[in-house]
Structure 1
Amino acid sequence: MTVHIERLSTGVLGIDRMLAGGIPRGFFVAVVGEPGTGKTVFALHYAWQGIKDNDKVIYVTTEESRESIIKQAKMFNMDLDKAVDEGKAIIIDALLKSQNDEWSLEEVDVEALVNKVIEAKRKLGYGRSRLIIDSMSTFWLDKPAMARKYSYAVKRVLYRWDFTVLMTSQYAITTSSAFGWGLEHVADGIIRFGRKVVGGELKRYILVEKMRQTPHDLRVNYIDIKDGEGLVILGPANFSKEDLALPEDVKRRIRSANKDLGP
């Protein structure tokens, strides 16, 4: 018996192919990796594809201003400014507090985030919706032990609102590990972005570490980011998933943190 799964295109053809057509509707997907590896560009593709597919799009930016996100999108021929003006998308700015701005967060707080997202959803109206939170790490930078609790709270409340969610999370450059263990535990899928020096040249890559209900590609694939085009898949890399495995001491810290956090 074949079960039909509705999938949302990511806006990147090569990644859709890695995901058997896209992200299953209603999933919460963690997009993780070090700074500068392509997470935000991927999030912009996902948002722009939603606009083209007539989805309701809400983009929460915590590490760049709304204006910076709009400017970056235009570099890849994505007119988010126009989409906002036409009521197809809302960009919530959690970086710059702005007086008299309906779509700015006055404080970086998970409850305030959830309430503002629901308010934006009501404003955009009924229908299939895409939510991007870039990044979730901002909400627990000073309290990493709360990462799992906060991530679960966001998923539990927003699950009822027909969102298919991308939540980015920063990894430390020095350890290639997360600032707080939690987002990956509640996610239905994990897409990892990274970088590696090969033959003296910096290479960016993507790996789908997990995607429920999906026969996804298990290979590491090189990526590139091109002006006017955005993120493109170059093809499988000549190193394996095992080459990217976390060191044993990092794994021990993860297990210890999970034990301390409880169920």
Structure 2
Amino acid sequence: MTAASANWARLNLIYPPSRSDVSEVERISTGIKELDDALEGGIPKGSWVVATGEPGVGKSILAMHFAYAGLKAGDPVVYVTTEQEYRDVVVQARQLGMDFGRYPTYSLGWRKEPEELPQIVVVDIFGLLKVARQLTEKSKEESSDKVKRYAALSVDTLIEAIGEAYKVLEVVEEGRGAPVRHVRLVIDSMSAFWVDKPVMARKYSYQLKIATHRDNVTALLTSQYAPTTGQAYGFGLEHIADGVIHMWMDDVESAREVRRHLIIKKMRMTNHSRKAFDVEIEPGRGLVLRQ
């Protein structure tokens, strides 16, 4: 036993971990049993978790699992997608055994009002463009001399769009910004908001978390890594996240096949598994994890 291990053992004898502390942490399912088991039952409620990795490793599919588990559990879902149109998300998810079409859906990009209370509100690039125009018009009304023009892929627009989605889902009360019901928030991917200004990643990440982090919101965000360098498009999101799930693949030229992997790098309030999973993407099942 190392000196560090001996010290840790002595501390546990003097201050044993409280079972009540562990049991009091409410867990939110990722939608993948093996990952939930590795997280002592799931993600701690109210956490911000980021899934990192290069294109093709399965981050978007992990986001689908998380959102779909919420829909099945009765949680309202805000699904921000900057990588593809939501209809493509629905088609891919159905191929992987997740039928999003079963649940009432509304997109912020639509001109019509929702005909029924949705369970999932989609914020794609068209919804972000609509919100950006609304913010710009509001700025013109407030001051014709100093008009602030909002871009679709700006954090200010994203924050406003999330707030609008909460209103559509009817999870916020008048005069209160925090949802009164538990909401799942998916943003796939955050890298789109600083791809032209990667040095701003940490500032934008803090800005978003301060504006939208609430005890009743559990978030899963994805962050792109460059396949050429293996580095993130801007550093900062991982630093403010409560949990980091990293996904990667072996070098395909050396392996001569696609071999994907996943590991939990950190998760607050959780004695998570330290071992990596091998990951397969299977029709009708989605992400299949094996250790």
**Shared fold per TM-score greater than 0.5:** yes
Residues 46, 146 of structure 1: CA spacing in aligned structure 2 closer, same or farther, 3 A cutoff? Answer: same
Alignment of 1:38 with 2:58, yes or no, is yes
Please identify the structure whose Cα radius of gyration is greater. 2
- Check the 8 A contact 1:188/1:211 in 2, yes or no: yes
Count of residues paired in the alignment: 232
Q: Say what the alpha-carbon RMSD is for the aligned residues.
A: 2.1
Report deviation, 1:73.
1.1
CA deviations on 1:65-113 (whole Å, 9 max, x unpaired) are: 111111111112322233134611111112687779x9xx971111111
CA deviations on 1:40-67 (whole Å, 9 max, x unpaired) are: 0010000000001111101100010111
1:29 to 38, 49, 61: 49
Residues 209, 95 of structure 1: CA spacing in aligned structure 2 closer, same or farther, 3 A cutoff? Answer: farther
CA deviations on 1:171-206 (whole Å, 9 max, x unpaired) are: 010111101001001000000010014754321000
Report deviation, 1:228.
0.9
Equivalents in 2 of 1:166, 1:160: separation in Å?
13
Question: Gapped runs of 5+ residues in structure 1?
Answer: 236-263
The structure carrying a bigger strand percent of its residues is: 1
Alignment of 1:18 with 2:49, yes or no, is no
Alignment of 1:89 with 2:120, yes or no, is yes
Give the equivalent residue in structure 2 for 1:189: 243
Residues 18, 212 of structure 1: CA spacing in aligned structure 2 closer, same or farther, 3 A cutoff? Answer: same
- Check the 8 A contact 1:43/1:132 in 2, yes or no: yes
Residues 99, 24 of structure 1: CA spacing in aligned structure 2 closer, same or farther, 3 A cutoff? Answer: closer
Alignment of 1:114 with 2:159, yes or no, is yes
Instruction: Decide which moves more: 167-176 or 88-97.
Output: 88-97
2:78 to 58, 65, 70: 58
- Check the 8 A contact 1:62/1:95 in 2, yes or no: no
- Check the 8 A contact 1:61/1:95 in 2, yes or no: no
- Check the 8 A contact 1:225/1:231 in 2, yes or no: yes
Alignment of 1:49 with 2:69, yes or no, is yes
Equivalents in 2 of 1:30, 1:113: separation in Å?
17
- Check the 8 A contact 1:151/1:182 in 2, yes or no: yes
Alignment of 1:202 with 2:202, yes or no, is no
1:131 to 181, 185, 194: 185
Normalising by structure 2, what TM-score?
A: 0.75
Give the equivalent residue in structure 2 for 1:156: 210
- Check the 8 A contact 2:261/2:276 in 1, yes or no: yes
* Same amino acid, percent of matched pairs: 40
- Check the 8 A contact 2:153/2:193 in 1, yes or no: yes
Residues 109, 99 of structure 1: CA spacing in aligned structure 2 closer, same or farther, 3 A cutoff? Answer: closer
